Structure 1
Amino acid sequence: MINVLVVDDNSFITGGLEIILGTMDEIEVVGSAENGAEAVAFCQAQAVDVVLMDVRMPVMDGVEATKQITETTDAKVIILTTFDDDVFILKAIANGAKGYLLKNNEPELIRHAVMSVMRNQSIIQEEIWDKVRQSLETEKPDVSPDLSGLHLTAREMDVMKAVASGLSNKEIAKNLFISEGTVANNISALLGKLGLDHRTQLAILYLTGKVGGGEM
């Protein structure tokens, strides 16, 4: 069973998620919290596998709570957000969030996200990533960031650029005339080489020369 904590200051949201997740065989909701401080305390006191975390909450917001939870526990955080919260996305990623989903998703997509982060995969919904990419490209300086210090091969740079463009592994494979398996291996190797956790950080690094707000 995957132990899930639901965090939101709206009891309608937490109650609804508890009911929905309670119908799933692989998931057990072990509790709920109304703010980030409660979530941190809960995760530090009890075994939690995945936290479904709101962003805007009193006492402590979800971005800071994500940082404290990922630094002090083994719990993995999935941010549940609205489009109005997109300014927090990069900071939440930098703070260790493993997933980023819109709140109005179908239950099956939330279940898939929970299962994916438990397999050490990171999830960011396409609509959210499109907004992040557009924002980064709008703010991107006229001179592209100098990535020469990363010592990447031409193929690694091609893969990194494709990821930053929002292409799927299938699309990258088609464009670079390699197999999807090779693409996946190249991305995994890049993440390991650069000390990153997921492809979103890889894309942010390519576009800005930074990882979620911090220089490499």
Structure 2
Amino acid sequence: MIRVVLADDQELVRSGFAMILDAQPDIEVVGEAGDGAQAVELVRALRPEVALLDVRMPRTDGLAAARTICAGTATKVIMLTTFDSDDYVYDALYAGASGFLLKDVRRDDLVHAVRVVAAGESLLAPSVTRRLIADLTRNRPRSTPAAQLDVLTARERETLLLIGRGLSNAEIAAALTVSEHTVKTHVSNTLTKLGLRDRVQAVIAAYETGLITPTG
């Protein structure tokens, strides 16, 4: 059973998401919070597999809550946001959040996202994720020097490039003409060598180091 904590200061949004998730046989909403501070308390007490956090909440916002949860628990975080206005979601992803959803997410996409993140994967679909990161990194100074990629082999560098473009393991395997098992090894080695938590941070690193440019 995938246990979920929901945090949003709009009760109708929380209730709607809770109804959708609780209707699934493998998902249970174990707690609801109206602000980030309460979300952190619930996560610490209940240790859910996934926490869905709205970016904008009173007292402690979703960004601060994500940092605390990702740093101190094994709970995976999905941010709830609006693409046009929440330009600091980049910071949440960099802090360790496993992805984000738009507030008007479709029912099936919400359920899929929770399952994917609970399984230890990162939410890189839909493609708006890559577009968001590209837009946010365009106007931010690089904090990761390109030289850091020197620790990667040529194939690991190719793998990072393809992760940065949002390809799945199966798609990377097809592009590199290798097995999916080999891709998983390359991905694991790449994350370990660069000190990255997951594929979302790998996407960010690909942009920060200049391996991928916002226009390319």
TM-score range (shorter-chain normalised) is: 0.7 to 0.9
Does the CA-based 8 Å contact 1:136-1:207 persist in structure 2? no
Aligned counterparts of 1:76 and 1:31: Cα–Cα separation in 2: 15
Number of equivalent positions? 209
Q: What is the letter of the counterpart of residue 165 of structure 2?
A: S
Residue 119 of structure 2 is matched in structure 1 by: 119
Q: CA deviation at 1:196?
A: 1.2
Give the structure-1-normalised TM-score. Answer: 0.84
CA distances 1:156-204 after superposition (whole Å, capped 9, x unpaired) = 1122122223334344334333333322321122112222121221122
Q: What is residue 192 of structure 1 aligned with on the other side?
A: 192
Q: Supply the distance in 1 between the matched residues of 2:173 and 2:113 (Cα, whole angstroms).
A: 24
AA in 2 matched with 1:58 = P
1:75 maps to what in 2? 75
CA deviation map 1:39-94 (0-9, x unaligned): 11222223322111100111111010011122233322111221134412221112
Question: Which residues in structure 2 correspond to 1:1-216 (within 5 Å)?
Answer: 1-135=1-135, 138-139=138-139, 145-147=145-147, 150-209=150-209
- The structure-2 alpha-carbon separation of the partners of 1:106 and 1:204, relative to structure 1 and needing over 3 Å to count, comes to same
Task: Give the letter aligned to residue 55 of structure 1.
Answer: V
* CA deviation vs aligned residue, 1:15-36 (integer Å, no higher than 9, x gap): 1111111211111111211110
CA spacing shift, 1:133–1:15, aligned 2, 3 Å: closer
Distance, in Å, in 2 between the alignment partners of 1:68 and 1:21 is: 24
Residue type of the partner of 1:94? Y
Separation in structure 2 between the aligned mates of residue 181 and residue 59 of structure 1, nearest angstrom: 45
- Distance 1:115-1:140 versus aligned 2 partners, 3 A rule: same
> Does the CA contact (< 8 Å) of 2:196 and 2:202 recur in 1?
yes
Percent pairwise identity: 39
The question of whether the paired residues in 2 share the 8 Å contact of 1:7 and 1:36 is answered with yes
Query: Residue 214 of structure 2 corresponds to which residue in structure 1?
Result: none
Structure 2 CA distance for partners of 1:154 and 1:105, relative to 1, 3 Å? same
Maintained 8 Å contact 2:151/2:193: no
| 1:136 positional shift | 5.3
**Aligned-pair distance for 1:149?**
6.0
- Which deviates the most, 170-179 or 113-122? 170-179
Aligned residue for 1:147, secondary structure, equals helix
CA distance in 2, matches of 1:73, 1:203: 23
Gaps in structure 1 of 5+ consecutive residues: 211-216
More displaced 10-residue stretch of structure 1: 180-189 or 165-174: 165-174
**More moved, 58-67 vs 68-77:** 68-77
TM-score (ref. length: structure 2): 0.84
User: Structure 2: which 5+ runs fail to align?
Assistant: 211-216
